[in-house]
Amino acid sequence: MVTLVWFPSMLIFILGNAAAALADPWADLGCHGHGSTASHLLQRSSRMLRSASARDAILQGNEIWGCGSLQIPEVPPLVAAPLRNITWLHFPKAGTSFLATIWNYACSRRMALDLAVSPRAVPGCEQCYDVALMDRYPPDSYCEEGFLSQNFSTQHRPITVSAVQSRDLQVIGMFRRPSQRLISAFHDSCHASGLAEDQYKLLMQECGPNGKNSAGCYARFPGIAGCMSRMLTGGFCAETQFAESSFDGGKAHLEDALTMVKEMAFVGLTEYWDLSICLFQRMFGGTVNAAQLIDFHEGDSHQDQLYDETQLMGFVDEVDEAIYQAASDRFHELVKTYVSPDFSECATLVQSANRLTEMASKESKNSCSCEAAGRECGFSSSLGMSCGQCPTKRLKFSSEDTKVDDLNVTCDEEHGSCLVEGDLRPDVFKWTM
């Protein structure tokens, strides 16, 4: 039984499909026709605005929890080998919100979690969904033993084939079109994870707001192109240069990077977000939480459509384009294996999420998230879900709380309130900030 769980009361954008801007990779699947299930999934706009509300239902097999339910037609699962020792290959600007899917799989088996947490985690990190989620639902307290790798991280850490094989890691990740990822990174203060401080300053001087203010300049700066090739072979996204002439854009890493793509346990594409999430559920099973379809990690440059790639002034990241093509081919192979030819189960997931949205907007008084229930923490028997621990990192937003680690923060389980030295602090711990 495929089940779907719906969360949060906020306007959110769905990372959707960008088929209109992509070559049709589905031609060999026979997925044509605007009235088809495939077209519903593969030809909608790049992002879809959904007016989301709190959770409307949790179904556990045939047992209904909570304050409402929407049953999804049963589709016999095609489950791959269970994921264990999970390592997340997290390319910059390529789907931080994928952590909701990881937490739903690895950390929600004993009880449902409200994964629609505010991304406002800590001063200087106001759009950090990963930090905020783990502050409320720490892996040591909520995740099943053995599901996450010992050194699991949400940061932009690289991997290698040798490390995967020697440690028996299962690597999962989302890939994004290189041109789109580059432009997004440029608009995020010229994001350059791994670049030495002096070279980052030079990058900002040349290409940032006080320089050319150009995505094309950023993409051409030595050390920027070939991010995926390096992260797939043990290097950081950006490569610090000791001699400008030595930079090859990642070409030396390409062959090994392509091998690593084949080693990955799961490959998704941000341009096909909903389908990627559906594929994950088809491969590994479990309930579906509609928070998995939400972009919680919108940066300051967030927009609803694809970036205009003329911003790159003709630049093409040739190495990462080759890697993206290999990832796309792998993704298509997995879809053929685990998803039915008419995409019916995936359309059901998306359509059900839309229906829950419509129901919630009409019946908001019946919504039942942690926020709607007025809870900041603890397990709610009426909701049948955990609202997590008190996110103590948020105390740093308050100037009076300079020594956060020295404060005694507890959860009043009965009332679901966070207490600091025994006092209520609703300004700090309210669900949405």
Residue 76: its pLDDT value, please? 53
pLDDT of residue 134 exceeding 80, the answer is yes
Instruction: Kindly give, in sequence order, each residue whose CB lies less than 8 Å from that of residue 428, ignoring residues fewer than 6 positions away.
Output: 394, 395, 397, 398, 418, 420
- The pLDDT assigned to 399 comes to 62
Mean pLDDT to the nearest integer, 299-322 = 85
For residues 117 and 134, what is the distance between their CA atoms, to the nearest angstrom?
Answer: 10
pLDDT at position 291 = 78
Strand pairing category for 170-175 and 86-88:
parallel
pLDDT of 80-94, one tens digit each? 788 999 999 999 999
Percent of the chain at pLDDT exceeding 70: 75
Q: Which long-range contacts (CB under 8 A, 24 or more apart) does 414-423 make?
A: 416/370, 416/373, 416/374, 416/375, 416/376, 416/377, 416/378, 416/380, 416/387, 417/375, 417/376, 417/377, 418/376, 418/377, 418/390, 420/395
For 318-366, the pLDDT digits (tens) are 999 999 999 999 999 999 998 888 888 787 777 766 665 555 545 444 4
CA angle centred on 33, ends 31 and 37, rounded to 5°: 60
User: Could you tell me which residue, 381 or 3, shows the higher pLDDT?
Assistant: 381
Task: Measure the N-to-C terminal CA separation of the chain; round to a whole number of Å.
Answer: 35
Which pTM was predicted? 0.84
Query: What per-residue confidence (pLDDT) applies to 126?
Result: 84
Overall average pLDDT of the 311-317 stretch: 97
- Average of per-residue pLDDT across 153-159: 96
In terms of C-beta density within 10 A (0-12 exposed, 13-18 middle, 19 or more buried), how is residue 308 classed? exposed
- According to the model, what pLDDT value does residue 77 have? 59
Q: Give the residue carrying structure tokens 């621990």.
A: 389
Residue 81's pLDDT is 81
Q: Of 204-208, 370-374, 429-433, which range is least confident?
A: 429-433
pLDDT 10s digits, 195-252:
999 999 999 999 999 999 999 999 999 999 999 999 999 999 999 987 666 899 999 9
Q: What whole-number percentage of the chain has pLDDT above 90?
A: 52
Check: CB of residue 306 under 8 Å from CB of residue 271: no
Q: What is the mean pLDDT of residues 156-181?
A: 96
